[in-house]
Amino acid sequence: MSAPSGIISDLRARLDSKALDSKAALAVLLLLHSAVTCLSLIKVATFQSYIHFSGERVWIAAAIAIGFSVVSLLFAIARFSFGYFAGFYCYTMILGFLWIDVFSEYSYPRLLAGLSAALSLLLFLLPVLFVRAPIRQLVVLSNARFEHLLTLIMVVSVATIAMASTYNFRLVAIANIYDYRDALEFPGAVRYLTGWVSSTLLPFAFACYWLLGHRWRAVLVLVLLLLFYPIMLTKFAFFTPAWLIALAVLSRLLEARASVIASIFVPMLIGLVVIVLTGATLTSIPGKYFDLVNIRMMATASSALDIYNHFFANHPLTWFCQISVLRPLVQCPYHEPLAVVMQNTYGFGNLNASLFATEGVASVGLYLAPLTALASGLVLALGNRASAGLPPRFVLMSSGVLPHVLLNVPLSVAMLTHGTAILFLLWYVTPRSLFEPKP
């Protein structure tokens, strides 16, 4: 009995050692990511007038960033889930805001804003990282019926593209999209369908087909996604197919948690290194990459919190009146969407912002914002519960678009207009046996 027990003890020790090594590697990667995020913002400040940097206050910003980066270590101990994916992107955004907040030239209670944002993120992360108990499946599709569901998704997607293209279909260079985009108008039903299909249904179908080995169908999904670019005229639509391919490759090479971290860390690091080494302007090819990744993808989302804090320090709160279903029930001080209000006030273009800025700062103010962040975390944790039992790689790929959505729009818009709630339902009915190896 002593020999088998010794072997078992040795095996357990090796497994524990591997787990510790994995956590240690993730912790190092997370801390490096935090450093790159702050260094990137220093460089962004040389290109963007609304983001500032001063050598006199850099030590304050560095101390805050180092202290706050301890929060990132939660991602080293938490298991992968949809909330892990969304939460890490939100962590990066809040870290960026805390850095920007130190140097901001806007007048608002910046210390209070920073404390509120930090506490909001912490309360948000607790449910999205650690609420994982599965929801009992009362509806379980057979594998055959699930294939029919995927076919239905493709039919709805093709019909949506055909319908939406009758309102707009322009083959325009990316540099010229802003000449036409403000004039786009779609009926409400078409607007919802385009959001659901492009953000949720087609990425879900791509993940299914790719992991089930139906590669030509997966390629067809990517073609359909690309067709949304001449309809919607957004960079988001243009780069979505490439982004899904990148996630498929990353998740093949790395485990799910490392894939999430690398999905931001690697593109930001490349952008920072290229712009520093070349000294390029934003009109050059390296500069356009830096603008797309380091500025548009991350810095803009962080700076939106800076702007919303300034605006609502001097204007009435919304008390959620920006949500269309609540507008008739609440007296609203604003007659236009908040993005348009920000455009009219600051002139930076339509400035949508995350749940931390909209359901938080704009709706209830700095003192109550952490509570709305906690409530938002509990809502998104439903995705963890609905996807419990599904392969991490499938969850990562099928939700690949939504973390970017959550950085740039309110939670209510992400859940309804972009179909996050629909994805939760799709995960819930997906048969857990679908991805089991065939004998």
Model pLDDT for residues 296-322, shown as the tens digit of each residue:
888 999 999 999 999 999 889 988 888
Angle, helix 215-226 to helix 202-211, in steps of 10 degrees: 160
Any domain includes 114: yes
* Mean pLDDT value of segment 138-157: 90
CA distance 224 to 204: 13
pLDDT of 342 above 70: yes
Burial 38-65, CB ≥16 within 10 A → b, else e? bbbbbbbbebbebbbbeeeeeeebeebb
pTM metric for this prediction = 0.90
Distance of CA 30 to the CA centre of its chain: 17
- Structural domain boundaries enclosing 326: 21-137+302-429
Total of domains in the chain = 1
Any domain includes 327: yes
The encoded tokens of residue 346 equal: 């600051």
> Rg (Cα) of the chain, in Å, rounded?
22
pLDDT digits (tens, 9 = 90+) for 6-44: 554 554 544 444 454 588 889 999 999 999 999 999 999
pLDDT digits (tens, 9 = 90+) for 212-261: 999 999 999 999 999 999 888 888 888 899 999 999 999 999 999 999 99
End-to-end CA distance of the chain: 35
Any domain includes 394: yes
Any domain includes 242: no
Question: Mean pLDDT across the chain, nearest whole number?
Answer: 88
pLDDT classification of 333: cutoffs 50, 70, 90: confident
436 vs 76, 140, 228, 389, 398, CA distance in Å?
Answer: 28, 16, 33, 11, 17
Any domain includes 400: yes
* Mean pLDDT value of segment 420-435: 91
Side chain identity at 213, as an amino acid letter? G
* Mean pLDDT value of segment 108-123: 95
pLDDT classification of 193: cutoffs 50, 70, 90: very high
pLDDT digits (tens, 9 = 90+) for 251-266: 999 999 999 999 999 9
Confidence at residue 16, expressed as pLDDT on a 0 to 100 scale = 46
Any domain includes 281: no
305 vs 102, 106, 285, CA distance in Å?
Answer: 13, 11, 29
* Residue 243 contacts residue 237 (beta carbons within 8 Å): no
Any domain includes 111: yes
